[in-house]
Amino acid sequence: MKKILIFINIILLVGVLSGCTFIEIFTENTDTNVTTSTNETASITTKTLNKDVILSEVYARIYQDLYDDVLQEVKDNISEERFNEIYSNILSQLIQKIDDGDITVTAEMIVDMIKNVEESSANAVVGVTSLNEYGVRISIGSGVIYKHIDNKYFLVTNHHVVENGTFFEVRFADGSTKEAILQGSDSLVDLAVLYFFSDDDLEVAHFGDSDASEKGDIILAVGNPYGYDYYGSMTMGVVSGTNRYFDIDGDGINDMFVNYIQHDASINSGNSGGALFNIQGEVIGINVIKISATAIEGMGFAIPSNLVSAICSDIEEFGYSKQKPVLGINFVSIAGNEAYFTLNGITIPEGITNGFYINDVIEGSTLYNYVQPGDIIVEIAGIQLTSAEDFVLYFSQYIVGDIISIKLYRDGSFITIDNIELLASVGD
């Protein structure tokens, strides 16, 4: 059909260039208060049209007819990653122009941007239902569709949303569902990837650069708080902080696994696995934690998108994440724990004031074949172990597969062990 329209436009163009006269037919209505009826008389007038105007209109028609086809052809001939890269570059340039003052942002523009997120990217946030072996629903959460290959769609959610499930469903805004299959999960970072098949043209969200997020940035949280009665709820806030760490496993030490984005957008049970969008509609995080207490208000946390994207890629390829290594040691810091060692009859050699005293090593973990209970590790990957908190911060840069060395004290001597490969979670 588009080819026919283009052919007609070309004929019109030729006619204009030949100096033809065109007939314009219009309907006159002398009384604006009376609805025009089909019995009204049409008057005909002859009018010679300006050639430049016609040329402009023809070009506009041709552009309109071809635009979608050209865009689709470009998208079909480049990878999704390359298309997203181009999109991000254009977006970055626009943001830079705003920062430089070349473009003035008004309140109306911000409202329009929020509405645009709601009408487009937010539709990539769906419901995730976990069912037991009997088909009984055991948990409800949120998920974000982030990729598709033909009719196969991938979505990311939290591990804790699916960890006890046997069967899984994706729920859409109209109440319809699709069976989903668990591709893999990472309990350490609390992420899981599922996939499902659909012939519908579903919205797919794009990951933004979470490292570019700054305190004060406007963010939008989308998910299903307290279940599907509040499907697709959107709340707004700002980034309250970045690189936040938590003691997830309750051992008294902030874990190195995730450098969370802190924000104050309202999230509740059911928001788990939902998206944290920036004002441009990019996913900069996956909501996972809310600190809930009488004296605490507005403290939500999201796994940053750069880590999410890397883990999703790993799970797609390997079925598990290769991002965050696990040393597999149960330890007590030397500094500040003299009472613990005295109580347990443990003698720390004179001169050793810092390091990790090893109580236990998990079988199959990174350090299982290198460290034994009673050792005191004083250095890991070139990091002197002055405190567990400092170690967590510095060690977070390493990923699975990196090679490190350790220095430890054992039986009166210091030993250095090189070429230790960092492994993923035990059991992965």
Q: What is the DSSP letter of 177?
A: E
Task: Give the DSSP H/E element, type plus range, for residue 32.
Answer: none
Of residues 133, 126, 131, the one with CA closest to residue 228 = 126
Distances (CA, A) of 74 to 66, 78, 83, 265, 285: 12, 6, 9, 37, 29
The rounded distance, in Å, linking the Cα atoms of 251 and 170 is: 35
Which positions are catalytic? 160, 190, 272
The rounded distance, in Å, linking the Cα atoms of 289 and 301 is: 5
- As a 3-state breakdown, the chain gives helix, strand, coil percent values, each rounded to 5, of 30, 30, 40
Residues 6 or more apart from 215 whose CB is under 8 A from it? Answer: 238, 239, 240, 241, 242
- For 153, the token pair is 């769609």
* Helix 2-17, helix 51-77: angle, nearest 10: 150
